[in-house]
Structure 1
Amino acid sequence: MKMKTKSTLMLTALIGLSISSCKKEKFVELNTDPTIVNQITPEQQFMNSVINMHADRFEAYYDNFRAIMPWMQMTTPLNGNAVTFISDAASFRNVRYGNFYPKVGGNLTDMEDLVKKLSAEEQAKRVFQVEIAHIVKAYYAFYVSDVTGSLPYTEAFLVRSGGTETPKYDTQEVLFDLLDAQLKTAVTTLNSTPPVAQSSLGTNDLFYQGNISNWIKVANSTRLRMAMRLMKRNPDKMKAKVLEILAAPGGLINAAAESWVFKANATYADGGDWSALNLRAPKPVVDFMYNNSDPRIRFFYQENTFTQANFTTAKTQNKIPAAATFDTRRFYGVPTSPDVSAAPAFANFLNNISISVVNGTGQTVNQPMDSLSMLQPRLFAAGENGGKGINAFPLITYADVCFMRAELAARGVTTESAQDWYNKGVAASVAFYDDLANKAQIIDRTGTLSYVAVNATEVTTYMNKTDIKFDAGRALDQIIGQAYLNFFKQPSEAWALYKRTGMPNSSTILKLEKLVASGTEQTIPRRAALAIPSITNLNYQNIVAAYRTMQADPDFGQGPSDITGRVWWDKK
């Protein structure tokens, strides 16, 4: 089948920005077969790159569900975290690094090379396309470096065009400046009036269908996120960058419709390694959300199975005492500390009963009565349990930008209103997850559709709760707590937030547990373990040199594999 036909089929499947998994797999061929690259257009290669940013199921399974989310107390296994859950999570695979070389960065470089092979007239029409590719490439390089530190970038991806097979590494400090400059240049170019009309990426742009205004806002918003990583390492530089970015032409993401979110149909992430099944809701977060009437709680988690009907049946069948009182609270989480979840008090709570019920086929079966809530599986894999909804992979949302601006104002970096941006952020986050839950077609524990839209009264009630209503004396604490909740679908950003601010923690408004295993408080990992190269690795010398440079920083840790060590921006 010719690539043009493949692309046509792909675009047909992309109605409503949805991608079928079978077409996704076909496009993966382009990553490994260099003879195919010259058979496609730059626009198609851009789309291929975007698909590969989110396509690896191992990132969901190993990096998110089994590592970052347990570390950040965003989920636990069924019976709570094991004593060894920190060390077990060293299986964090840093899939993003493997995606960057060559599936994302490599393909975006190929796209630019394809443009260079066109006539001068055609090249002139694709100046904006190339700058959009630079924005995506810069963002993903930042995303990789965020947990690995130094990366080959300036000399990388050039083998097909005659470049080196042994690229040197750029330090994270240098890389941050390079990426910021690249994004700034993209904004300047996209804001200019070119001498010839520009060819749009159109439907090959799975984010914005070629909308230039939105890409400018993405570039500026990415610069802001990167600048805030400098908070501990170089606060003066951070402030200068922030003020420059806030004044940059084109502005930041400033509305929900402008949010940078990749959307795909149900078969793109339909269970398996994408699955959040059998992952429990965490007690600290569930308690905070429940006690404050957070509308998002029903989108993040599923209610337990103690319905009024099941409770009554259990009484009738003598499974619970006749004097038992029905508990109207249906959201309960698991303690995140291994020692707490292993304690008798929780073990007794976990003991479930079964009742006999008649199922849909008329058969009498045993149904467990589960006291605890689970993560909402379709929020992470819309194809779970036969779902037909939409998957969403947020990169930078309007709510993200609101909370960044609120934090910067609360810290006195800007003169904006922290209260105004905080209130906008909370409202935007609630609306964002309301929309996601609706489109993902979330379900209850029986597999029945369970989406209930948020209403204005719920939002007002939530915003007036003591711990939620803006309090200038607790502003930073409140802002960080809400940003953390907002990152439920972006666990890597929740992790970065914790590393940058130390919040939330056991003393903040949103109180997380101290993670204690066998009486010892655990140290939360702070970066990916870096692979030790084989002496036969073609780039062995540059890799070792990069590791030595990073290890010169005492915060780097005991060696490349030390996941409690830190990357450059994460200064103690």
Structure 2
Amino acid sequence: MKTIYKIGLTCTALIGLTITGCKKEKFVELNTNPQLIDVITPEQQFMNAVASIQGDRFEAYYDNFRGIMPWMQMLTPLAGNSVTFISESGSLRNVRYGIFYPAVGGNLTDVEQLIRKMSAEEQAKRVHEVEIAKIVKAYYAFYVSDISGSIPYTDAFMVRYGGTETPKYNTQPELFDILDAQLKSAVTTLSATQPVAQTSFGKNDLFFQGDVAKWIKVANSTRLRIAMRLMKRDAAKMRTKVLDILAAPGGLIDNANESWIFRANANYADGGDWSAGNLRAPRPIVDFMYTNSDPRIRFFYQENLFSQTNFDLAKAQGKVPASSNFDPRRYYGVATSPDASAAPDFAKFLNNITITVRNASGQSVPQVMDTLSLIQPRLFAAGENGGTGMNAFPLITYPDVCFMRAELAARGVTSESAESWYNKGVEASIRLYDDLANKAKIIDRTGAANYQAVTATEISNYLAKTPVKYDAAKGLDQIISQAYLNFFKQPNEAWAIFKRTGMPNTTTVVALERIIASGTEQSIPRRAALSIPSITNLNYQNITDAYKAMQADPDFGQGPSDITGRVWWDKK
């Protein structure tokens, strides 16, 4: 017990503003031993919760790289998508559920309960800490419910404090109301003047180091994201909530410095299951970005290996016909439809050649020449191949908020300028990825440093391109398409905006491919498969009751495991 406590303190001492030497698994150990609650502070337990949010590498490996991102045509495997890539078992494991129960939800509950055990004087000093913990807990509960539907929440996480071992499930409509009320209450409390000076999470707050004003903006911005999920279920209710949120004290995230992003040093995500290496760039996005000179293309993807020098060597070595002309385009993506990537007219892109080049030592070595682009690996794992840059995991960013406000204006929900918020969103997104790529120390295919800063001219030229320049007649399409590109590092939100709006699709500004496998068009999954509980599960009755209630909605699908079914907010 003492040993684990010392580990916790050591990590606290080393962590500073980012995760450094301690492995992320250490942060959840305290939650598994209830006796340790007596020796840990609320501030340390808040840090443990925050570190756990992004701490499971399987979410990157299974849920993002092999589930959501291929489904949303954001990447493919090396040889393109297989004919079974949508139905493959295990492609989406709903890892977030296991992160929330018990680590994130439990640790954040501990923060509040530990403070409640203190004297009235000490509790009065920690009102802000309680509310900030509630904001994070509400956000992550929403994130879990987003693809799972009903989840235990109001009865959950209280076993060590005399609560039930069999928590009832909150339905998604109940939960959305509960979370909205909690976030709104947090904003009210954090905006009010407290009678005594407040303590701060300080460096234990790995997001904002206890900056209350920024947490107020995060709470309001989270409310806005949740409210927009109501669009298909209850547009009138969504509008009422949106207008209430826009009038809330403290406002929304309003600049890049207020973006809610978890940042950690290179060894937090250093390859392995975090790795985006050997994952291909997708043709639809690459074609749009290249054609329109989107500056983000060099941050998302790596150029192929057909430089002028390598092309000349290939010619000299007889690897390509002497009559061949150099192609200056260095970004090509894989067809995302399995049938398209297997078609003869595309197969040539997958046929690599090998040339001989001289390495740094002057030795002749083989070099495989690959026509297609890869995902920029260090954008997702800064520690890839010994990298020393900074990892970033966005939750809600300034461009996210810009695009939400642009969409609401384009739909007539608000009287704001859709064009103004759209233009702000595009520029903010480009600058966000410029910053992420710089800090991640991105590399080219040879492993050499490859960051090139964005210029103001590039941004203005991009905004002037016909498909990008705002046109009210297709404004909603443009807004959704740009939001989708912005969510490259937030695949759940790309998936959500597709489910909520039906865009992007085959006819939108960013035109995706029809996903055809063995001649049959495929249906994109819309939720996580829910595991069937064992009869010996202590909470068996509540789980099965929750499943039955969800199945009463015909949109839910054929059963808990039907990934083409829908959660409540995703109404047909």
Relative to the length of structure 2, the TM-score reads 0.98
- In structure 2, C-alpha distance between the alignment counterparts of 1:304 and 1:479, rounded to whole Å: 30
8 Å Cα contact 2:551/2:559 also seen in 1: yes
Residue type of the partner of 1:220? Answer: N
Please name the residue that 2:15 is paired with.
14
8 Å Cα contact 2:23/2:268 also seen in 1: no
Please name the residue that 1:258 is paired with.
258
Q: Give the secondary structure class of the aligned counterpart of 1:88.
A: coil
The Cα shift of 1:91 comes to 3.1
Residue type of the partner of 1:433? Answer: Y
Please name the residue that 1:371 is paired with.
371
The Cα shift of 1:338 comes to 0.4
Give CA deviations for 1:183-221 in whole Å, capped at 9, x if unaligned. 000000000111111001100000000000000000000
Matches within 5 A, 1:104-143: 104-143=104-143
Please name the residue that 2:100 is paired with.
100
Change (3 A) 1:71 1:23: closer
8 Å Cα contact 2:403/2:425 also seen in 1: yes
Residue type of the partner of 1:14? Answer: I
8 Å Cα contact 1:382/1:441 also seen in 2: yes
The Cα shift of 1:2 comes to 5.9
8 Å Cα contact 1:3/1:39 also seen in 2: no
The Cα shift of 1:7 comes to 4.8
8 Å Cα contact 2:4/2:29 also seen in 1: no
Please name the residue that 2:199 is paired with.
199
The Cα shift of 1:244 comes to 0.5
Residue type of the partner of 2:255? Answer: A
Q: Give the secondary structure class of the aligned counterpart of 1:82.
A: coil
Change (3 A) 1:252 1:546: same
Please name the residue that 1:167 is paired with.
167
- In structure 1, C-alpha distance between the alignment counterparts of 2:556 and 2:301, rounded to whole Å: 36
- In structure 1, C-alpha distance between the alignment counterparts of 2:35 and 2:359, rounded to whole Å: 55
The Cα shift of 1:46 comes to 0.3
Please name the residue that 1:66 is paired with.
66
- In structure 2, C-alpha distance between the alignment counterparts of 1:544 and 1:204, rounded to whole Å: 39
Residue type of the partner of 2:172? Answer: Q
1:428 and 2:428 correspond: yes
Residue type of the partner of 1:140? Answer: Y
Q: Give the secondary structure class of the aligned counterpart of 1:22.
A: coil
- In structure 1, C-alpha distance between the alignment counterparts of 2:482 and 2:27, rounded to whole Å: 38
Matches within 5 A, 1:85-484: 85-88=85-88, 90-484=90-484
The Cα shift of 1:111 comes to 1.3
- In structure 1, C-alpha distance between the alignment counterparts of 2:28 and 2:218, rounded to whole Å: 26
- In structure 2, C-alpha distance between the alignment counterparts of 1:424 and 1:116, rounded to whole Å: 43
- In structure 2, C-alpha distance between the alignment counterparts of 1:170 and 1:484, rounded to whole Å: 30
Please name the residue that 2:518 is paired with.
518
- In structure 1, C-alpha distance between the alignment counterparts of 2:544 and 2:26, rounded to whole Å: 36
Where do 5+ consecutive residues of structure 1 fail to align?
A: none
8 Å Cα contact 2:5/2:30 also seen in 1: no
The Cα shift of 1:110 comes to 1.0
- In structure 2, C-alpha distance between the alignment counterparts of 1:311 and 1:563, rounded to whole Å: 46
Residue type of the partner of 1:35? Answer: Q
Give CA deviations for 1:407-458 in whole Å, capped at 9, x if unaligned. 0000000000000000000000000000000000000001001000001111
- In structure 2, C-alpha distance between the alignment counterparts of 1:31 and 1:450, rounded to whole Å: 41
Relative to the length of structure 1, the TM-score reads 0.98
8 Å Cα contact 1:90/1:563 also seen in 2: no
Of 29-38 and 228-237, the range deviating more from structure 2? 29-38
Residue type of the partner of 1:475? Answer: G
- In structure 2, C-alpha distance between the alignment counterparts of 1:144 and 1:327, rounded to whole Å: 46
Q: Give the secondary structure class of the aligned counterpart of 1:354.
A: strand
- In structure 1, C-alpha distance between the alignment counterparts of 2:333 and 2:72, rounded to whole Å: 15
- In structure 1, C-alpha distance between the alignment counterparts of 2:570 and 2:145, rounded to whole Å: 12
8 Å Cα contact 1:3/1:40 also seen in 2: no
Residue type of the partner of 1:507? Answer: T
8 Å Cα contact 1:357/1:364 also seen in 2: yes
- In structure 2, C-alpha distance between the alignment counterparts of 1:526 and 1:3, rounded to whole Å: 40
- In structure 2, C-alpha distance between the alignment counterparts of 1:40 and 1:562, rounded to whole Å: 42
- In structure 2, C-alpha distance between the alignment counterparts of 1:299 and 1:352, rounded to whole Å: 24
The Cα shift of 1:116 comes to 1.1
The Cα shift of 1:140 comes to 0.1
Q: Give the secondary structure class of the aligned counterpart of 1:413.
A: coil
- In structure 2, C-alpha distance between the alignment counterparts of 1:64 and 1:371, rounded to whole Å: 25
Q: Give the secondary structure class of the aligned counterpart of 1:85.
A: coil
Please name the residue that 1:25 is paired with.
25
Residue type of the partner of 1:156? Answer: A
8 Å Cα contact 2:264/2:392 also seen in 1: yes
Change (3 A) 1:566 1:90: farther
Residue type of the partner of 1:477? Answer: D
- In structure 2, C-alpha distance between the alignment counterparts of 1:474 and 1:24, rounded to whole Å: 45
The Cα shift of 1:36 comes to 1.6
- In structure 2, C-alpha distance between the alignment counterparts of 1:91 and 1:571, rounded to whole Å: 24
- Cα-Cα RMSD: 1.1
Where do 5+ consecutive residues of structure 2 fail to align?
A: none
What is the aligned residue count? 571
